[in-house]
Structure 1
Amino acid sequence: MLHNKTILVLGAGELGMAMLRSLVRRAAGVSDLTIAVLLRPSTIDSADPRKQKDIDELRGLGVEIIPGDLSGQSVTDLATVFARFDTLISCTGFVGGSGVQRKIARAALDAGVKRYFPWQFGVDYDVIGRGSAQDLFDEQLDVRDLLRSQDQTEWVIVSTGMFTSFLFEASFGVVDLARNTVNALGSWDNAVTVTTAEDIGALTAEIVFAEPRFVNQVVHVAGDTITYRQLADTIDSMLDRIVHRVEWSVPKLERELAEEPGDPIRKYRAVFAAGKGVAWDKSRTFNAQRGIGVRGLEDWMRQNLLTDADASLQRA
C-alpha cells in the first residue's frame, strides 16, 4: 500500500470518471487514502449541467478536485502539482495534442512520483512500432522509451484495445447502423480487441491495488477480441437484421489517408486495417487469468443498442 496512499487521476472524461468511481469503490475501507483528480479551472467552474453533474458526483465520492492545465502549464509547474502524490494515473486521451503525453511523463519523473500509469489505454504500441499511419502513436513510444530509461519511478501500462463504444461511433465508420452496413478494416478476418470504459476503470483499479505489485510492465486486458466478420454476425443476430458487408482494403484506406493526411479518423482506420498490435488473445489477459468478469461485445450491445423489449426477447 506504500505506493497508493495518495492517488491523482488526470482528467474526468469517459475513462476518468470510470477510473475514479472504481478507485473509490476498490479503496473502500482503506484508511488514510487520498484520491484526487486534476481538472481545468474552466471545467470546475463550468455552467454546463453535464460537467457540473460530474463535479457534484466527484465531491460526493470524496474525491479532491485540483485545478490544473496539462496543455498550458510547464513541466516544472506540473511536477510541482504531481509531487505530493504517490501514484499518478493519466486519463487524458489525445485531446491535448502533440507533445502533451511526453510533457506529462517528464513531469511525473521530475516530480518523483513512485508509480505512473500513463495514458496508454489502447493498442499495443510496441507491436505496432514507429512510423504507423497514426503519428500520435510514435509519441506513445517516446513515453515508453522515457519510462524504460529510468529506475526511480515505477510504471505500469494497461493495454485495453479500442473502447467498445468507439467501435460503434458513426464517425469511425465501421458500424453504420443508419445505412445498415458494417465496413471491415483491412479484412473480414482482421481482429480487434475492445474493452468498455467501465471495465478499463475497474480492471486498472484492481491492478493498482494488486499484490504482489505490478512493476515496470505492460498488462493486457480485454472485454472481447473479435473479427469484423464476428462483429457483423453478432449485429445480424442481436438486432435481427442482415447488414450490408463492405471490406475496406488497406490500399483503399491508405489512398483516403493520402488525400486527407491530417484526418485523425483516417489515420486510425489505416492502423487498425494493418491488423498489427490491435488485438490479443483474451485468455491471456489479466482479467481472464484473475477470473474477473467483464462486458463483451454482446453485453455492450444489449445494454446500449437494444430496447427493453428487444432485451427481453434476447433473454427469452
Structure 2
Amino acid sequence: MASRTNNILIFGATGTVGKHIARSIVESGDFGRVGIFTSPDSIKTKADAIDGLKDRGVEVITGDITVQQDVEQAFNGFDTVVSCLGRTVLHKQLQMIELADKHHDVKRFFPSEYGTDIEYWPNSAHEPPHQQKLKVRAALRDVKDLEYTYVVTGPYADADGGLFLGAAPVDKEAAGTFDVKRKRAVLLGDGNGKISLTTMRDVGELVVAATKHPEASRNRALKVNSFTATPKEIVAEFEQQTGGQAWDVSYTSLEQLKEMEKEAHANGDPRAGPLTLRRIWTEGGTLYDRRDNELIGMEDKMTSLPGAIKQAVQVQTG
C-alpha cells in the first residue's frame, strides 16, 4: 500500500513555482505538519515571504542543502518531501534522494519535475535542458524504500517574467510573446499546434491532489495540465479580453526557431535552454491522448484558458 502524506517538508518554497506549491499545501489544511527548508541567505533576502509562511503555521528550518547533516536533521518527523528547486540546482536533489531513502521517517519524494515531459519521445534523453532531471529520475528508480511521484505539467500558463503568456522584450520577441500593452503577439510555428499548459497555481493544487491519492500517483509520472490550446486560440482570447481589437500578430516558424536554438547553444547563450523547450512545445511535445487529471480527482478543477488569460492580463497591466 502506498504511503499517505501527513507531514510535508518543502525545499525551494519561495521560488517561482515553489511559492505556489507551498501556498496550496498550506491552504489545503490537510496536513499535520508543514515545514520549509531554506538557506540563511534566503532568510535575509526573502524575509517577507518566509515571515508570511511562519504566520500560517509553517515551520522554518534553516540549513545548507549541500551539508548532509543539515538535510538529514531536517527530514526528522516528515514523511513526504516536496522539492521545488530551480533548474540551476536540480543536481542537489541527488544527495537528497539518497538520504531520504535511508531516513526512517521519509516515505515519499516529489522531485522538481514540474514542466516539460523529459521522457516524451526517445530523443528526449538527448535534449540539453533535460539532463539533470533525467539523472534525478535514474536515482529514484534505484531507491529501495522511497516512493516517488513526478508531476509533469507542461509549460506554465502564466505571464510572469519569461513564462509562456508573458511579454518578451522587443529584441527577443521572436522566441514568442503575448504583449498586452502593445497588443502584439509572435506565435511559434504556424499557430495551429496544440500546447498543454498549466498555471503555477494549478501546479500547487495538483501536487496536493497527488498526495491525497497515493495509490494512483505512486512511483509514476502524472501527466496533468490546466488546459490545451493553440497559439491562435490564445491570442484570440487575449484580443477578446483587451477590448476586442485585433492584435498585431506575426510568426516564427519551427525552422526559424530551430536556427535560433542552434545559434544560442553554439554561442553559450543562456537563452539556449528556454529556446529548446519552446521548440519542443512547438513540435507537440506536451500532448497525450488523455491526461491523468482524473486519477487524482482534478478533472474539473483546473483553470480554463479564459481564466489563465485574465490572470496574464492582470499581471502585465499591473
TM band (smaller chain): 0.7 to 0.9
Counterpart-to-counterpart distance in 1, 2:8 and 2:182 = 45
Residue aligning to 1:224? 227
Residue aligning to 1:121? 114
Deviation sequence 1:276-310 (CA, Å, 0-9, x none): 43234676534795444121221122234159xx9
The correspondence of residues 257-296 of structure 1 with structure 2, limited to 5 A, is 257-261=261-265, 262-274=268-280, 275-280=283-288, 284-286=292-294, 290-296=298-304
Q: Name which of 59, 65, 73 aligns with 2:60.
A: 65
Residue aligning to 1:150? 143
Counterpart-to-counterpart distance in 1, 2:179 and 2:4 = 44
Residue aligning to 2:8? 7
- Contact 1:225 / 1:280 at 8 angstroms: preserved in 2? no
| 1:213–1:270 distance in 2 versus 1, CA, 3 Å | closer
- Contact 1:38 / 1:65 at 8 angstroms: preserved in 2? yes
Cα displacement (A) at 1:224: 1.2
Counterpart-to-counterpart distance in 1, 2:137 and 2:52 = 33
Q: Would you say 1:183 and 2:186 are equivalent positions? A: yes
Cα displacement (A) at 1:182: 2.0
| 1:258–1:269 distance in 2 versus 1, CA, 3 Å | closer
Counterpart-to-counterpart distance in 1, 2:296 and 2:215 = 17
Counterpart-to-counterpart distance in 2, 1:218 and 1:212 = 13
Cα displacement (A) at 1:249: 2.1
Q: Please, what TM-score do these two structures have when normalized by structure 1?
A: 0.82
Counterpart-to-counterpart distance in 2, 1:212 and 1:54 = 33
Identical-residue share of aligned pairs (%): 24
Instruction: Give the aligned residue type for 1:278.
Output: T
Counterpart-to-counterpart distance in 1, 2:278 and 2:210 = 27
Greater Cα shift, 291-300 or 102-111 = 102-111
The correspondence of residues 81-160 of structure 1 with structure 2, limited to 5 A, is 81-82=74-75, 84-96=77-89, 99-111=91-103, 113-128=106-121, 129-132=124-127, 135-160=128-153
Q: Please, what TM-score do these two structures have when normalized by structure 2?
A: 0.81
Q: Would you say 1:305 and 2:300 are equivalent positions? A: no
Counterpart-to-counterpart distance in 2, 1:102 and 1:10 = 13
| 1:109–1:284 distance in 2 versus 1, CA, 3 Å | closer
- Contact 1:186 / 1:250 at 8 angstroms: preserved in 2? yes
- Contact 1:222 / 1:282 at 8 angstroms: preserved in 2? no
Cα displacement (A) at 1:245: 2.5
Q: Would you say 1:251 and 2:246 are equivalent positions? A: no
Instruction: Give the aligned residue type for 1:39.
Output: T
| 1:93–1:191 distance in 2 versus 1, CA, 3 Å | farther
Deviation sequence 1:76-117 (CA, Å, 0-9, x none): 653453354211000112143x63343443443344631000
Residue aligning to 2:172? none
Instruction: Give the aligned residue type for 1:303.
Output: Q
Give secondary structure in 2 for the equivalent of 1:222.
coil
Residue aligning to 2:156? 163
Q: Alpha carbon RMSD of aligned pairs, Å? A: 2.8
Cα displacement (A) at 1:125: 0.9
Counterpart-to-counterpart distance in 2, 1:62 and 1:250 = 48
Counterpart-to-counterpart distance in 1, 2:80 and 2:70 = 18
Deviation sequence 1:53-88 (CA, Å, 0-9, x none): 212211111110011333xx1456534533542110
In structure 2, stretches of 5+ residues that fail to align are: 169-174
**Would you say how many aligned residue pairs link Structure 1 and Structure 2?**
296
Residue aligning to 2:21? 19
